[in-house]
Amino acid sequence: MAEPLLRVEKLVRRFGGIIATDNVSLDVAAGELHAIIGPNGAGKTTLISQLTGHLEPHSGSVSLGGRDITYLPAYRRCALGLARSFQITSLLLDFTAADNVALAAQAHAGTSFRFFGNARKEKGLRDAAHAALDRVGLLHRADVLVSRLSHGERRQIELAVALASKPKLLLLDEPMAGLGVTESQSMVKLLQELRKEVSIVLVEHDMPAVFALADRISVLVYGRVIASGDPAAIRANEDVKRAYLGDQHVVTHHG
């Protein structure tokens, strides 16, 4: 079998006496959309933070395309093709939408120790920004300050920023968080498009969305992966039903 794009092995992270990530191992193959689900406090964001480099694990390893990245700082992982979106929208509020995305493109287009030329007039960067904004359907808002955009629009900008770095692997931390019904639906549609181009790790609470999108699902409970498999297997798994899904009948109805 080919080397998986992302391999997580026996990752452990503690906060005081709490084990937030307990021996987590998982593989994400190239081209796959791998969803990570779990109840609140299961350690999903802690896990994502270790993948992105915002948090160091106490033991275990993370490798991307066969390269060990366990202790690489966030910006180096980004250069290797790992991009993320934040659960709580994290953008440059006093910059325009286009500036936000163009900066992400700039990070991957040569050195930024250039002190003279006007960066906002660099055609390559602007074009990349506009393309990414177009991709998420926000081209018409390119020159609006992010602080003036709605929550839903900011979620889409998050995605555009991640896309602008032309990643191999996209880590999406609850992209649907706080979105209305129609907004969620268009986000699902958008992710369905994107997954053809890039491998995705999706952390999400919205079960219909997860089951509609995922190739494989890993279920995290108390920091431990209790099950991993395709949506049908997860849906049928007794442990998962008991520990997490409970009577959430939506799961059996959708998908």
71 binds other proteins (CB under 8 A): no
CB of 156 to other proteins, least distance (A): 15
Total number of residues that touch other proteins (CB under 8 A): 35
Give burial (CB, 10 Å; 0-12/13-18/19+) of 66. exposed
Is 13 strand, coil or helix? strand
CA atoms of 27 and 237, how far apart (whole Å): 20
Alpha helices in 38-145 (DSSP H): 44-52, 74-79, 97-106, 123-135
Nearer residue to other proteins within complex by CB, 167 or 223: 167
For 218, phi and psi rounded to 5 degrees? -110, 135
Please, which of residues 126-185 interact with other proteins by CB under 8 A?
A: 161, 165
Residue 225 CB neighbours (<10 A): 21
CA atoms of 63 and 70, how far apart (whole Å): 7
Q: What sign does the CA torsion over 120, 126, 129, 133 have?
A: positive
Nearer residue to other proteins within complex by CB, 52 or 228: 52
Q: What is the separation of C-alpha 211 from the centre of its chain, rounded to a whole number of angstroms? A: 16
CA atoms of 49 and 43, how far apart (whole Å): 10
Q: Which of 15, 58, 67, 93: binder of other proteins (CB under 8 A)?
A: 93
CB of 119 to other proteins, least distance (A): 4
Nearer residue to other proteins within complex by CB, 83 or 240: 83
Stretch that binds other proteins, among 118-126, 133-141, 223-231, 232-240 (CB under 8 A): 118-126
Q: Which of 24, 42, 62, 86: binder of other proteins (CB under 8 A)?
A: 86
CA atoms of 21 and 50, how far apart (whole Å): 10
40 binds other proteins (CB under 8 A): no
Q: Which of 48, 69, 104, 138: binder of other proteins (CB under 8 A)?
A: 104
Q: One symbol per residue from 223 to 242: x for binding other proteins (CB under 8 A), - otherwise; what is it? A: --------------------
95 binds other proteins (CB under 8 A): yes
52 binds other proteins (CB under 8 A): yes
Structure tokens at 251: 């799961």
Stretch that binds other proteins, among 93-101, 132-140, 148-156, 244-252 (CB under 8 A): 93-101
Beta bridge partners of 18: 15
Q: Specify whether the backbone of 41 is left (phi greater than 0), alpha (psi in -120 to 50) or beta.
A: left
Q: Which of 74, 232, 233, 236: binder of other proteins (CB under 8 A)?
A: 74
Nearer residue to other proteins within complex by CB, 29 or 131: 131
Residues in contact with other proteins by CB under 8 A are 52, 54, 73-75, 78-79, 83-84, 86, 90-95, 99, 103-104, 106-108, 111-120, 122, 161, 165
